[in-house]
Chains A and B, each alone.
Chain A
Amino acid sequence: MLEVSGLVAGYGRITILREVELRVDQGELVALLGVNGAGKTTLMKTIAGLLPSTAGRISFGNVELTGQGTERTVEAGIVLVPEGRMVFPRMTVRENLLLGGVHPRPRPRRDATLRRVLDLFPLLAERRDQKAATMSGGEQQMLAIARGLMAEPKLLILDEPSLGLAPLMVQETYAALRRLNAEGLTILLAEQNVKLSLAASTRGYVMENGRIVLTGVSSELAHNPLTRKAYLGRL
C-alpha cells in the first residue's frame, strides 16, 4: 500500500533522512522504532506531506505522492496524528473533530463519521464542548486520534502517541489502536517505547541516524540484540 524508497529529506541544508526504505501493506500495524533524534518524526512528516523530500519516492497504492503537500496526501487517505498531539487549543472537542473532516473527500459524510467517532470514544462525547487546551494529555491524545479518524484514513500514521501519557492512558490508547486495526485500519506507528509498539505490531523497522538499520517481524525484532544496540549503542 505505502511504498517509500530512497527517501532523502531534512530541514533546509540539514539532511535528516538518508535513503529510507519502508513498506506498509493493507491491514498491517507496523512499528517504527528509534531513539529521539533518529529521524522518525522527520519521516512521518515527509510521508504526510508536511516536509518536502530532496530525493526518493513515496507512493500510496497507485498514487504517486512524492513531493506532494498535505492536501494531496489527505486526499489519498494518509492521515498523520502528529507528535505532541497538536490539537487546536482554543477550539472545542467538537470543533477539532469537525476540522478533522473538513477536507473535500470525507466532508460529505462528516456528520455520520462524527457520530461514529463519538461512539468509539465516549469520553470525547462527554466533553464535546470542552476546549481542547483544558484536557489532559491522554484525553488530547484520544482527541488527536479521533480527529485523524474523521478524515476517513486508509493509512493512519501516529508519531509517538504514548509520549507524556500516564501508563493507564497509554494502555487505553493502544487498546483503541489495536481495535481499529482489527477492524481493518492500516496503521504505521512511530514509538520510542519498544516493548509496547512491538507487542502491538506485526512488523517493525528500526531507525538510527536517519536510516533504516533493521527490519523484520515484530516478535523477532523484540528479541534481536541489534534492536537494543540501536537504542543503547552497544550490545
Chain B
Amino acid sequence: MPKEILLQAAVQGLQMGAIYALIALSMTLVFSVGGLLNFAHGDFMALAMYGAMVDYEAFKIDAYAIAPIMFALFFLLGVLLFRRVVQPVLAAGVLAGAQLTLGLVFVQENLILVLFGGDYVNVPTVLSNRNLVVPPLVMPWPLLVGSAFAAVLAIALYVVLMRTDFGRQIRAIAQNRDAAALMGIRIGRIQAIAFGVGIGLLGFTGPVIVAQFTLMPTMGLDLTLIALIVMVTGGLGNFLGSMIGGLIIGVAESLGSLFYGGTVGAMIPYAILVFVLLFRPHGLLGEH
C-alpha cells in the first residue's frame, strides 16, 4: 500500500473524526448535565443540514452564511424542548427520557421525509468540488473547512467547560447535582442553556459540513450511533474522551474502509463499540 494513500486515508479519518468529536461532545454535554441519552441527537444535525438545503434552494444563500442563524434557531429549539418536553419526562426516570428521544427519532425522520422526500440530495456550496492540493494530499475543501469548524467549536466548548464559571457549573451539576444545588446554582436554568448549546452546536455544524455529505432521511440515526460509539469509547460523560474518541473512530473507519472496503469500514465502529463495552466498559479515558 503506497504511503500516500495511507496518509490520505488517515488525514481524511482525522477530519471526519473532528466532526464526530463535535457531535459526540455536544451529545455528552446533553447527557452529563441533563442525564438524557439523546437518541435523536443526530437527527437534529440532519435537520440542520436539510435546513441548509432549503435555504439554498429558496434563497440561494450559501450554507456557510446561515450557520450562525441556525445556531440561534437551534439554541432556542433546544431550550424549548428541554423545558417543555424533556424536563417533565425526565422526572419519570432516565429510561423514560431515552424512550422519548427514540420517539423523537421517529418524528424527525418522518418530518424530513414529509418535507423533503426520500431522495438523496446534495447541497452545493461555494466550496463544492474543489480541492486543496498539498502534495501528496488532495483534500476536498468542503471536508477541510467543515472539519476545521468542527475542531474549533469542539476546542472552544472544551475550554468553556474547563475554564469558565458556566462550564464549571455544568460539570458540577454532572458530578453531584445536590452539591451543585447547595452552591446556590440554578440547576434548571443551567441545564436548559446547556441543552440549548448542545443542540445549537448541531445547528451550526450542519450547514458547515453539508457540502461533504449526501443527505437522506435516515442519516440522523446513523450520526447518533457514531456519536454514541465515540462517547462509549472515550468514556461516557468524559469530555476529553469524546474528542479523542472521535478522532480514533474517524481514523479507524477510514483505514478500515481503505483496507477492507466500504461495508466493513462501516462495521468497524460497531465492532469497536462491542469490544469496548465488553472489555473496557469505562472507556479509554474512564467514565464521567
Contacts and interface: CB of A to CB of B under 8 A. Distances in A.
In the complex, A touching B (Cβ < 8 A):
yes
A75 B186 CA distance: 12
A165 interface: no
A98 B168 contact: yes
Given A91-B171, A91-B172, A98 B179 contact: no
B4 interface: no
A138 to B, nearest CB: 18
B119 interface: no
B175 interface: yes
A48 to B, nearest CB: 6
A100 interface: yes
Contacts of A128: none
B182 interface: yes
Interface string B121-153: 000000000000000000000000000000000
Contacts of A151: 183-184
Nearest to A107: B165
B168 A99 contact: yes
Which of B178, B179, B180, B184: most chain A Cβ within 10 A?
B184
B163 to A, nearest CB: 10
B176 A88 contact: yes
Contact of A99 (B169, B178, B186): B169
B124 to A, nearest CB: 45
A89 interface: yes
B181 interface: yes
A90 interface: yes
Contact of A71 (B168, B171, B184, B288): B184
A69 B176 CA distance: 17
A95 B186 CA distance: 18
A51 B176 CA distance: 16
Nearest to A45: B178
B176 A50 contact: no
Interface in A1-51: 48-50
Contacts of B178: 50, 82, 86
B88 to A, nearest CB: 18
Interface string B221-241: 000000000000000000000
Interface string B166-197: 00110110011011111111100000000000
A79 interface: yes
B174 to A, nearest CB: 9
A72 B181 CA distance: 11
A228 interface: no
A13 B183 CA distance: 27
A87 interface: yes
A175 interface: no
Given A49-B181, A70-B185, A147-B183, 10 more contacts: A50-B178, A50-B181, A82-B182, A88-B171, A95-B168, A99-B172, A99-B180, A99-B183, A102-B168, A105-B184
**CB-based closest 10 A-B pairs:** A74-B184, A103-B184, A86-B179, A70-B181, A88-B175, A71-B184, A99-B183, A80-B182, A99-B172, A88-B172
